[in-house]
Amino acid sequence: MAYRDLREFITLLERKRLLARVKAEVDPAWEINGITNKLINEAVTSGKSPAVIFEKVKGHKVPVLCNLIGTLERLALALETESADERVIREEWLKRIGHPIPPKKVKTGPCKENILTGEKADFNAIFPPVIWHKGDGGAYIGTLAIQVTKDPETGVQNAGIYRMMVRTKNETGLMFPAVQHAGQHLGKWRRLFPGKPMPVAIAIGTDPVYLLAAGAKFHHPPSEDDYAGALRKEPLELVKCETCDLTVPATSEIVLEGEVYPDELKPDGPFGEYTGHQGAAQMLNVFHLKTITHRDNPIFLGEREGYPSETGLISLKSKEYLIYERLRKLPGVIDVHMPREGCAFKLIIALRKSWPGHVNQIIQSVWGDLDLGLSFRYIVVVDEGVDIRNPAHVEWAVSNYVQPDRDILIAPRSPGGGGGLDVSQPYSKRRWSAKWGVDATLPTEEYEAEGTKAPELCDDPDIKAKVEAQWGKYGINP
Ligand SMILES: Cc1cc2nc3c(=O)[nH]c(=O)nc-3n(C[C@H](O)[C@H](O)[C@H](O)COP(=O)(O)O)c2cc1C
Ligand SMILES: [Mn+2]
């Protein structure tokens, strides 16, 4: 049964002892930052770390929920998969999105319990001013906020996650770059309705699967609404906004309604980015708030960005699944993995290498993928059999098999690769990034060219399996 709302998911986490309630007063200027930093680091190193609700945020009534999807275990619980094994989650995810389920329109819902308009439509009435990273330019209410827009040509709704820094009581920044669907909607809107503002609705605190769908880069049509339905195996229930015809999940904790003028830009940031560095201040679009609707006793869901962060599961995993779906159709591709420490730049591929040049062709096909290939600045290809989820094994392959002047493929002056966030370059050079692909497969073809055979591994899979099967007999660790 799909989660009806965020609260049902919280109840489950609490029952499973995967949620902590902090009753001590915390200062939104620094304490939420520090506590969530410790928790997400624990999540990355040990895989264990609870979601947390800060019940008493200094000077504010609304509680703040963080680290919601910080671990694979909670990703699996959100998706209600049978196990938290990465491959099981991936197979289930790909199977489900093959059958999109259209949303159901409902007349009203809990998100309409309170409607704040005019002077009352004020961010300060709802949101504790959390400073997620020390150098941020202000409080961000949008870190896990879901922006809903509509394609002005096709009418298909989009949902994506985009940051929002509070500028005034009813204005935030909005980062809608042209490579993202929300940015493409804004571009079309500018052309079709010059000078007019485009409506945007923002849902905060929804059922966890809608959040995961918003973090994924799907092909349209259909909408993320339909993919969320597929992933939760039940239609999403959506209600119409008060001020426009966009629709949002009826059980959202908080909904912000407003508009954005395509050509209006104001200073925004800095903001702590997923690379782990403070991003520069920049000129961004502006969200003008018209109305807030919210549930009684709303919960504010947010996350610390930076590295590590929950983004490593919320956006990165869906990208891994979608690139796997495309690459596995190519001959020889066995498996792919995006490690969290790769910050969306790194892709590891296990390949059954079948001809000279095969590895480079696979790397080039990733870079050539218009939707998913942009970010992969660093690709490592290893042989089938290397455990690509174990960084030590991947490093073993690189250390043993790579001749750098032979096995590193460099694509100069490429799009993507972090763009404005590519901290390996000074600001003036960040328009383009060079990309590198590392062939860390055993160079069998080189041995064959000199008429010899590449050395075999000294591990014997048969002996390993036999010992494993009767391990108990030896009484070593009973
Ligand atoms: C916490 C978080 C914050 C994000 N912030 C932004 C952002 O400010 N701008 C942006 O372009 N992408 C941001 N993303 C990435 C997009 O949400 C992601 O690429 C998504 O697939 C976009 O979907 P869309 O193109 O369907 O709107 C963020 C992702 C997460 C998880
Ligand atoms: Mn989209």
Which residue ranges make up each domain of the chain? 84-304, 315-463
Compute, in degrees rounded to 10, the torsion defined by CA atoms 162, 163, 168, 171: -10
Q: pLDDT tens digits, residue range 64-96?
A: 999 999 999 999 999 999 999 999 999 999 999
Distance CA 329, CA 311 (A): 27
CB 238, CB 247: distance < 8 Å: yes
165 lines ligand 1 (CB under 6 A): no
Residue type, 388: I
Residue 211 DSSP label: H
User: What are the tens digits of pLDDT across the range 35-50?
Assistant: 999 999 999 999 999 9
Residues contacting residue 147 through CB under 8 Å, at least 6 positions apart:
159, 160, 161, 162, 174, 176, 182, 200, 201, 202
In this structure, the number of other CB atoms found within 10 A of the CB of residue 387 comes to 15
Greater model confidence, 478 or 206:
206
44 alpha carbon to ligand 2 midpoint, in Å? 28
- Ligand 1 pocket: which of 40, 65, 162, 220 to mutate (most atoms <8 Å of CB)? 162
Q: How confident is the model at residue 419 (pLDDT cuts 50, 70, 90)?
A: confident
Q: Does 215 contact ligand 1 (Cβ within 6 A)?
A: yes
* CA separation, residue 311 to residues 158, 212, 275 (Å): 19, 10, 11
One of 3.30.70.260, 3.40.50.720, 3.40.1670.10, 3.40.50.1100 is the CATH number of 315-463, namely 3.40.1670.10
Residue 370 banded pLDDT, cuts 50, 70, 90: confident
Model confidence at 198, pLDDT cuts 50, 70, 90, reads: very high
* Distance between CA atoms of residues 81 and 208, nearest Å: 14
Name which of 375, 376, 401 is nearest 386 in CA terms.
Answer: 401
Ligand 1 contact via 33 beta carbon (within 6 Å):
no
Instruction: Give yes or no for a contact between 343 and 373, defined as CB atoms under 8 angstroms apart.
Output: no
Q: What pLDDT is attached to residue 371?
A: 84
- Average of pLDDT values for 446-459? 96
| Residue 181 beta carbon below 6 angstroms from any ligand 1 atom | yes
Closest atom of ligand 1 to CA, residue 314: 31
According to the model, what pLDDT value does residue 477 have?
A: 83
Q: Considering only CA atoms, which of 380, 391, 390 is closest in space to residue 437?
A: 380
Query: pTM score, two decimals?
Result: 0.97
pLDDT the model gives residue 284: 98
In this predicted structure, the answer to whether residue 478 has a pLDDT above a threshold of 80 is: no
Q: Is the backbone of residue 410 left (phi > 0), alpha (psi -120 to 50) or beta?
A: beta
Mean pLDDT, range 356-360, rounded to an integer: 97
Q: Give the chain's mean pLDDT.
A: 97
Residue type for position 424 = S
- Please indicate whether residue 216, judged by its CB atom, sits closer than 6 Å to ligand 1: yes
Tokens representing 360 are 């480079």
Q: Are the beta carbons of 268 and 255 closer than 8 angstroms?
A: no
User: Distance between CA 56 and CA 28 in Å, rounded?
Assistant: 10
Q: What is the CATH number of domain 84-304?
A: 2.30.110.10
